């Protein structure tokens, strides 16, 4: 029982800070997305393609979370967008206080969309609100159709599922319709985008969806 009590207190404290973050984001009319996935799904590639295709549509700021290195922030910085790296030093997820501190470096920059790239993990990040508008879970075709069933909390708490690496389907034993069916069984409200960061397929639909979200702010 004591373990449950401690966890509840930690999450309650996190939720308070997350709401403070959310209020700050709303003051700037920013649409905030928390990108979550397992390692190797192509999460950073989706971030890069979103930035690349955002030109002429909307401006992007990025908070990068990683266990040890700043390699992802270096990749993103090549696009000349505001970016801050959080290194968790072994921590398996971002927490609201880390985002709060990182955002101080971005608050006065000009952008409409903030992407928070979480640590590669489909377990812990599902429990932590960072103050985002939505969680975007990225699942690659290389991971198998049963991933939503194995990690239901993440798919239940997400608003969007991006199925990445669809260009590899001809070479894999992956049934994308079964993958979608499993995800929708967990969360029937999921918006699903099938994309390839290599060929660009499906990415325009994703960008247009973000544009519509910004228009509603």
Half-sphere exposure of 72 (CA within 13 A, CB side): 28
CA distances from 81 to 21, 58, 77, 112, 157 (A): 21, 12, 6, 12, 28
CA angle, 88 then 94 then 98, to 5°: 75
Domain ranges of the chain: 2-215
Q: Give yes or no for residue 194 having a pLDDT over 90.
A: yes
pLDDT for 7: 61
Query: Mean pLDDT of all residues in the chain?
Result: 93
What CA–CA distance (Å, rounded) separates 115 from 51?
A: 10
Residue 2's pLDDT band, with cuts at 50, 70 and 90, is very low
Q: Hey, CA dihedral for 180, 145, 155, 202, is it positive or negative?
A: negative
CATH 3.40.50.300 fits 2-215, yes or no: yes
Of 55-64, 71-80, 130-139, minimum mean pLDDT range: 71-80
Query: What pLDDT digit, counting tens, does each position of 137-158 carry?
Result: 999 999 999 999 999 999 999 9
> Per-residue pLDDT averaged across 100-119, rounded?
96
Residue 72's pLDDT band, with cuts at 50, 70 and 90, is confident
> Per-residue pLDDT averaged across 92-102, rounded?
94
Half-sphere exposure of 193 (CA within 13 A, CB side): 23
Query: What pLDDT digit, counting tens, does each position of 14-25 carry?
Result: 999 999 999 999
Query: What pLDDT digit, counting tens, does each position of 161-176 carry?
Result: 999 999 999 999 999 9
Contact 137, 36 (CB under 8 A): yes
Enclosing H/E stretch for 191: strand 191-194
Dig out the tokens for 192 from the structure: 């699903």
């Amino acid at each position: 029982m004591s373990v449950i009590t401690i966890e509840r207190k930690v999450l309650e404290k996190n939720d308070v800070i997350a709401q403070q973050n959310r209020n700050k984001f709303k003051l700037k009319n920013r649409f905030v997305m928390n990108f979550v996935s397992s390692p190797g799904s192509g999460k950073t590639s989706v971030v890069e393609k979103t930035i690349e295709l955002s030109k002429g549509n909307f401006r992007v700021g990025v908070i990068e979370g990683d266990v040890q290195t700043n390699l992802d922030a270096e990749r993103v910085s090549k696009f000349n967008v505001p970016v801050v790296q959080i290194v968790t030093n072994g921590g398996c997820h971002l927490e609201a206080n880390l985002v709060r501190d990182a955002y101080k470096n971005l608050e006065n920059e000009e952008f409409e969309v903030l992407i928070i790239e979480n640590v590669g993990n489909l377990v812990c990040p599902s429990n932590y609100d960072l103050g985002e508008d939505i969680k975007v879970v990225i699942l690659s075709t290389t991971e198998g159709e049963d991933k939503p069933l194995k990690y239901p909390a993440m798919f239940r708490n997400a608003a969007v599922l991006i199925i990445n690496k669809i260009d590899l389907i001809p070479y894999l034993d992956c049934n994308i319709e079964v993958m979608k069916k499993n995800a929708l069984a967990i969360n029937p409200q999921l918006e699903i985008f099938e994309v390839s960061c290599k060929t660009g397929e499906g990415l325009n639909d994703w960008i247009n969806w973000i544009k519509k979200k910004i228009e509603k702010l």
